[in-house]
Structure 1
Amino acid sequence: MIKKMRLVSRVAVIFILFFSSYLVTNGQVSNRKAKPNIVIIMADDLDSKQLSCYGGQNIQTKNIDALAKNGLKFNHIYTSEAMCVPTRASLFTGLYPVRNGAFQNHKPVYDNLQSVGHYLADLGYRVGLTGKDHVTKPKSVFPFDIINGFEPNCVSATDDYQLEDVKKYITQDEKPYCLFVMSINPHMPWTVGDSTEFDPDKLILPKNWVDTKTTRRQFVKYLAEVRRLDDQVGDITKLLKETRQDKNTIVMFLGEQGAQFPGAKWNLWDAGQKSSMLVQWPENVKPSSQTDALVQYEDITPTLIDIAGGKPVSGLDGKSFLPVVLGKTKDAREYTYSIHNNIPEGDPYPIRSIRDKRFKLILNLTADKDYYNRFMMNPKSTDRNSVWFSWTAEIGKDPQAEKITNRFVKRPPVEFYDTTKDPWEFNNLASDPAYQKIIEKFKEKLYAWMKQQGDKGAEIDMVYNKKP
């Protein structure tokens, strides 16, 4: 009798082990270790060159630097349209702006799309978002769990935040999660943080700026918000340690597009397009490593799907760079592509560009007109546009001021830069005979991409009727 009971017990154990193995193999049991948590912290209008881990000299961003020290730094990540809504739509959908619909700032995505919220949920994840909530509507496209905690309005005069609701969300059950922490710093109006930390006379200004007292005064306010951003990153990473989730959580930091200073945001020069990305993943990413792999924001959702164990989603523009993260390859894509449509931020001024790691081609599709942006150049609102008008006031006094402001307003049809030798894109090589073959090659690639995207160029930079 005892022998029979032992035999039955052994058979039962074998059956349980076999059935459990079958469920895990077929994805019906969540394997916590196989599916890490993911926390993505995103800045708002960050000049990534100011981060000390990216060579910045005006501020020590110790908490952001810690992610670089413990993880992988990307040196070549670009947004395909240097504005908040298009960048975030590309991040969430894995589609370029013309295909996702948000090809102008504040233009909504098409309502028949899916996003990272669907893709990760299908793979067993909770997908949440706290903070800036641009591009979270319609809910059918962005089915995020909206978490209280961080300020959602990017033009708020305050950025008060609390972590209790975030803590509840990341500890509520054993299901893996992907949480987007969307800071509003350092977006205008630059009213938070302690600006007394910085001496305006000692700041090192970007080389594409005109050096004025107004510029330095505004830059101090901007850096104070970069400090606030760094503090928020520190609070989030500290929370992960306190809840003992730091060992099985990927932390990704994203810089979004450049700052709201002339020549950066709302343009296709690198001061606006070039971003930052840090990936910390214990036991999977080599600490203090960096990569020159070329990536775009459209590539992030495919990478998250890959991390979560999913198969590539057909029809996305982005591609996974997980092999780069894991150190299995040094390259991701050969080219990045970008667009700019100026409405509703100013007069129509469509721009298109293509680049590899070194060279960059920009086509200004209506170069016969002057560039104008109402948030930086409005003569009826000189107080809100004080930096630009402090620059134009120097024309006739400072040759560099005239060069920089003229470059900003009057642009040639074709710009071509060697960004390795000329990172500030001052030396236009478009008419140099030595570069004509590569310029023609880039044009061919860019036009083919526009055709594939359904991008009709200048004619899409128009006013669109809002849906009722």
Structure 2
Amino acid sequence: MKPWITLIAAVMLSPLLRSAEKPNILVIIADDCTHSDLSFHGGQNAKTPHLDAFAKQGTVFERAYLGMAMCAPSRSELYTGRLPLRNGCAWNQATSRPGTKSITHYLGDLGYRVGLAGKTHIKPRSVYPFEEVPGFDENCVRDPTLPHDLEGSRKFITRDEKQPFCLVVALTEPHAPWVMGDASQYPPRSLKLPGYLADTPLTRQSYSRYLAEVTYMDGQVGELLEMLEKTGKAKDTLVLFTSEQGAQFPGCKWTNWDLGLHTSIVARWPGVVPAGRRTPALVQYADVVPTFIEIAGGKPEPKDFDGTSFAAVLRGEKDTHREYVEGMHNNYPEGPPYPIRSISDGEWRYIRNLTPERIYIEKHLMGRTEHNPYWGTWVFSSTEKPKHLHLVERFINRPAEELYHTAQDNFEHKNLANDPAHAAVKARLSAALDRYLKDQLDPGAVLDTPEAFQAAQDLKPNFPGKE
């Protein structure tokens, strides 16, 4: 064979050869970053040059979700491939069931070393035995965040050229308090407030500080990607960025609305994941570990997971995955019990508030004025401003059922649950939610009580949910 033919063949085959090998994996997690605030998801304010460039180099998932809009449950789902009730972490600050396997076990069995830098917010150690990688602050509410250092991450990924790595870098921005970054980049009066916020001076000041932290987080992402390039690992590494749940604003975190459960996922893997692509495939955090197992050469067993691999979507072979994504919320101990369950097909969202006779209270949003001073201004201004009244009432008074055409009503402000024109959609989603609750052995409202929370921590025999 002529040399030039051999060269062309080698060039054409190289992506296929790389895809057949075990890639390195780098997962970068932002903390409490509303997906729609990012410019590549339509945000009009945040300056994120590194993420914008990264999104063009990979595939953007337009419809990615998590099962609970709280830190501990969302991360437990991401790391185990099991929904919150099944892995045991169905409350914030909760503990996963001993015996549950996580990404550390699954990829470790496939020959990976698996490390975590930054925020943990997961327990127990037996379920999440990550190698501890120094360099990023573990405390998401520290004021200010400790300076970060990439040396620990660099040493981890270069330590053994023969062994693939999986490194999770869990950043603490833009979690409140919003104290990092340069807020002068975001003059409050110049901001284009999204429709889920009441327009008051204190809201604008808080949103300005939040955006500064988004930009600070973007800078950290840029540093990590640059480190990957300088170490020569970029071409052989699948990088997955995700924004976790929505930010600590009313209607985002601690809800089952789209702003809470919808997350950003962007994946880059040169030669394997198509660049400059956007996919409408419906995926959930529980699908990530099975995906990693498949691309690492393993075979995820359906009995072990609530998710399934979307590796075919990553490779650009498909643009569909799930039929539905499921959501839940147990409010205790972040406030008095207020259980919520939901389901979405990416187009429509159906929500059940299991105790609609109560008012919804979230103590961080409504009580910690040092983090969220704007809430009182929403209430005070609601006397004269109908939109502010709507936002306040919507947040604290929930009907038994909610139905939103999310694709047309992005912030889900128009409840269509009682509209006869959409009765068939509601019935379809309600039946799908019933099937999900049955599969997860979800007992409903009794789960969101101090007693159930304590039973889960004590791992009493009557603790519900699938093993």
Q: One fold, TM greater than 0.5?
A: yes
Question: Taking every aligned residue pair, what percent have the same amino acid on both sides?
Answer: 44
Q: CA deviation at 1:451?
A: 1.1
The question of 1:153 aligning with 2:139 is answered yes
Which residue pairs with 1:335 in the alignment? 324
Q: CA deviation at 1:212?
A: 0.3
Which residue pairs with 1:346 in the alignment? 335
Which residue pairs with 1:55 in the alignment? 42
Which residue, 441, 450, 463 being the options, matches 1:454? 441
Matched letter for residue 191 of structure 1: V
SS of equivalent residue, structure 2 residue 381: coil
SS of equivalent residue, structure 2 residue 326: strand
Which residue pairs with 1:237 in the alignment? 225
SS of equivalent residue, structure 1 residue 362: strand
- State whether residues 176 and 371 of structure 2, in contact with CA within 8 Å, keep that contact through their aligned partners in structure 1: no
Q: CA deviation at 1:139?
A: 2.2
Matched letter for residue 390 of structure 2: K
User: Structure 1 CA distance, aligned partners of 2:102 and 2:420?
Assistant: 45
Matched letter for residue 361 of structure 2: Y
SS of equivalent residue, structure 2 residue 90: coil
User: Structure 1 CA distance, aligned partners of 2:132 and 2:45?
Assistant: 35
**Residues 158-173 of structure 1 aligned to structure 2 (within 5 Å):** 158-159=144-145, 160-173=147-160
Matched letter for residue 352 of structure 1: R
Q: CA deviation at 1:438?
A: 2.0
User: Structure 1 CA distance, aligned partners of 2:354 and 2:108?
Assistant: 41
SS of equivalent residue, structure 1 residue 442: helix
Which residue pairs with 1:71 in the alignment? 58
Residue deviations 1:27-64 (CA, integer Å, cap 9, x gap): xxxx9970111100000000121211112121221111
Matched letter for residue 269 of structure 2: W
User: Structure 2 CA distance, aligned partners of 1:142 and 1:261?
Assistant: 30
Equivalenced residue count is 435
Which residue pairs with 2:349 in the alignment? 360
Q: CA deviation at 1:467?
A: 4.4
Q: CA deviation at 1:134?
A: 1.1
User: Structure 1 CA distance, aligned partners of 2:371 and 2:153?
Assistant: 35
- State whether residues 292 and 331 of structure 1, in contact with CA within 8 Å, keep that contact through their aligned partners in structure 2: yes
User: Structure 1 CA distance, aligned partners of 2:159 and 2:371?
Assistant: 44
User: Structure 1 CA distance, aligned partners of 2:371 and 2:111?
Assistant: 47
Residue deviations 1:83-114 (CA, integer Å, cap 9, x gap): 00000000001001110111010111011111
Which residue pairs with 2:399 in the alignment? 412
Which residue pairs with 2:463 in the alignment? none
Q: CA deviation at 1:82?
A: 0.3
User: Structure 1 CA distance, aligned partners of 2:125 and 2:199?
Assistant: 45
Change in 2 beyond 3 A, CA 1:347/1:279: same
SS of equivalent residue, structure 1 residue 276: strand
Which residue, 409, 423, 430 being the options, matches 1:422? 409
Matched letter for residue 105 of structure 1: N
TM-score scaled by length of structure 1:
0.91
Which residue pairs with 2:285 in the alignment? 297
User: Structure 1 CA distance, aligned partners of 2:342 and 2:458?
Assistant: 30
- State whether residues 33 and 248 of structure 1, in contact with CA within 8 Å, keep that contact through their aligned partners in structure 2: no
Which residue, 289, 296, 306 being the options, matches 2:294? 306
Matched letter for residue 71 of structure 1: G
**Residues 244-393 of structure 1 aligned to structure 2 (within 5 Å):** 244-315=232-303, 316-378=305-367, 381-393=368-380
Q: CA deviation at 1:393?
A: 0.9
User: Structure 1 CA distance, aligned partners of 2:388 and 2:142?
Assistant: 32
Bigger Rg over Cα: 1
User: Structure 1 CA distance, aligned partners of 2:249 and 2:198?
Assistant: 11
Matched letter for residue 103 of structure 2: V
SS of equivalent residue, structure 2 residue 302: coil
- State whether residues 192 and 225 of structure 1, in contact with CA within 8 Å, keep that contact through their aligned partners in structure 2: yes
User: Structure 2 CA distance, aligned partners of 1:181 and 1:384?
Assistant: 25
Which residue pairs with 1:140 in the alignment? 126
Which residue, 75, 82, 86 being the options, matches 1:88? 75
The question of 1:226 aligning with 2:193 is answered no
Q: CA deviation at 1:447?
A: 1.1
Matched letter for residue 410 of structure 2: P
Which residue, 28, 42, 50 being the options, matches 1:41? 28
Which residue, 171, 187, 210 being the options, matches 1:183? 171
Residue deviations 1:333-360 (CA, integer Å, cap 9, x gap): 1000110000001111000001102111
SS of equivalent residue, structure 1 residue 252: strand
Which residue, 98, 112, 116 being the options, matches 2:103? 116
User: Structure 1 CA distance, aligned partners of 2:53 and 2:99?
Assistant: 40
TM-score scaled by length of structure 2:
0.91
SS of equivalent residue, structure 2 residue 278: strand
Change in 2 beyond 3 A, CA 1:124/1:426: same
Change in 2 beyond 3 A, CA 1:433/1:285: same
Q: CA deviation at 1:314?
A: 3.4
- State whether residues 32 and 176 of structure 1, in contact with CA within 8 Å, keep that contact through their aligned partners in structure 2: no
Which moves more between the two structures, 432-441 or 399-408?
432-441
- State whether residues 19 and 272 of structure 2, in contact with CA within 8 Å, keep that contact through their aligned partners in structure 1: no
User: Structure 2 CA distance, aligned partners of 1:179 and 1:150?
Assistant: 13
Q: CA deviation at 1:442?
A: 1.3
Matched letter for residue 359 of structure 1: W
User: Structure 1 CA distance, aligned partners of 2:20 and 2:343?
Assistant: 39
User: Structure 2 CA distance, aligned partners of 1:34 and 1:416?
Assistant: 45
User: Structure 2 CA distance, aligned partners of 1:311 and 1:362?
Assistant: 34
Matched letter for residue 254 of structure 2: W
User: Structure 2 CA distance, aligned partners of 1:65 and 1:382?
Assistant: 33
Change in 2 beyond 3 A, CA 1:383/1:191: closer
Q: CA deviation at 1:193?
A: 1.1
Which residue pairs with 2:190 in the alignment? 202
User: Structure 2 CA distance, aligned partners of 1:446 and 1:52?
Assistant: 32
Q: Gaps (5+ residues) in structure 1?
A: 1-30
SS of equivalent residue, structure 1 residue 386: coil
User: Structure 1 CA distance, aligned partners of 2:129 and 2:252?
Assistant: 32
- State whether residues 261 and 387 of structure 1, in contact with CA within 8 Å, keep that contact through their aligned partners in structure 2: no
Which residue pairs with 1:432 in the alignment? 419
Which moves more between the two structures, 309-318 or 102-111?
309-318
- State whether residues 82 and 267 of structure 1, in contact with CA within 8 Å, keep that contact through their aligned partners in structure 2: yes
- State whether residues 402 and 415 of structure 2, in contact with CA within 8 Å, keep that contact through their aligned partners in structure 1: yes
